[in-house]
Amino acid sequence: MPGEEIEKSICDEEESVAKLRKLLSENEKLSVLEECDEAYLKRYLYSTNFVVERAFKKMKMFYDLLGEHPQWFTTDPPTEKKNIIEQDIRILTREHDNQGRPIYIVKIGNMNANAMDLVGDVVPVDDFFIEYLLSTDPAYQHGICVIIDVSNLPWNILKWLTPGNIKVALRRMQTMPLKEYKIHVVNSSRILNIAVNIIWPFLPQQIKDGIQFHFDDWDSLHKHVNKEVLPPEFGGYCSMDFTKLREELYERDVEIANNLRINRQPYLHHIEKNICKH
């Protein structure tokens, strides 16, 4: 019976949450996360198909990275970076690709490495939009579709592509509570090959397998993302109001900042306290 299947599914989810809490409670560093709300723990469970041990491992990897590189993880509200957000370096649409994944547009050509800081400006914008996604759209359970527009890619961005930055950025990607990334690279630039040659050797095979280069072949892109949900600049005919999308983010300013603080600061305080003890 359908009702019985739904009830069993809910019970299975609750059991998985309880098992994950237990694993957290038994870990000295992660025990402070035992009291995290159910919705937060489910993010990691959904990203690993409710395999509890994998969810725990992913959380551990995330918090290890947070402890090693706290400057790469903001706890500020989106309005603190309004001047960066409104340059449209990133935008989370309310649309989904052909497999139901939310669409996140990254416009590298709008980033200026001489006027922005990678860790202080660009990374927080990703944190804001991803937290907004995880809080508002259950479709995150399918993963995320990232459209990277490389037109007008500036030469000065190459200074960000150091081995250290690439490694931390990849660890961030791999430890976020997202099931998978499908990345579509569109348009082209004179320095695209240089950037790809720098980054490619660092990428694990799983991420490489999720990347497709379409350049300006819109028919190729539309096999994965219907033109009905894409703006004209990507060969579609969806009218996207980027101003409205940004305003929707700002409307949740306090909620997003609170979530980031609740899910990050207690862990940082916990490990700081343990360091002081020793």
CATH number, domain of 35, equals: 1.10.8
242 with 169, same domain: the answer is yes
Confidence check: pLDDT of 153 > 60: yes
Which pLDDT score is estimated for 8? Answer: 42
Answer for the pair 59, 174: CB distance below 8 angstroms, yes or no: no
57 with 163, same domain: the answer is no
Q: Token digits for 2?
A: 């359908």
Mean pLDDT on 51-55: 97
The whole-angstrom separation of Cα 46 and Cα 52 is 10
168 with 55, same domain: the answer is no
Confidence check: pLDDT of 258 > 70: yes
pLDDT digits (tens, 9 = 90+) for 169-194: 999 999 999 999 999 999 999 899 99
53 with 139, same domain: the answer is no
The reply to whether 110 falls in a domain is: yes
Mean pLDDT on 49-61: 97
Q: Token digits for 273?
A: 């306290």
Confidence check: pLDDT of 277 > 60: no
Three-point CA angle 207, 210, 213, nearest 5°: 115
Which pLDDT score is estimated for 263? Answer: 96
In sequence order, the 6+-apart residues with CB closer than 8 A to the CB of 173 are 181, 207
Confidence check: pLDDT of 6 > 60: no
Confidence check: pLDDT of 117 > 70: yes
Which pLDDT score is estimated for 11? Answer: 63
pLDDT digits (tens, 9 = 90+) for 56-110: 999 999 999 999 999 999 999 999 999 999 999 999 999 999 999 999 999 999 9
Which pLDDT score is estimated for 273? Answer: 76
The reply to whether 85 falls in a domain is: yes
35 with 173, same domain: the answer is no
Its domain, for residue 56, covers 2-68
- Quote the number of domains for the chain: 2
The reply to whether 261 falls in a domain is: no
Which pLDDT score is estimated for 34? Answer: 84
Which pLDDT score is estimated for 132? Answer: 98
Which pLDDT score is estimated for 7? Answer: 47
Percent with pLDDT over 90 in the chain: 91
pTM as predicted: 0.94
Mean pLDDT on 104-122: 97
The whole-angstrom separation of Cα 137 and Cα 140 is 6
The reply to whether 274 falls in a domain is: no
170 with 135, same domain: the answer is yes
- Mean residue pLDDT of the chain comes to 94
Band of residue 5 on the pLDDT scale cut at 50, 70, 90: very low
Mean pLDDT on 20-41: 94
Band of residue 275 on the pLDDT scale cut at 50, 70, 90: low
89 with 191, same domain: the answer is yes
Cβ-in-10-Å burial (0-12, 13-18, 19+) of 260 comes to buried
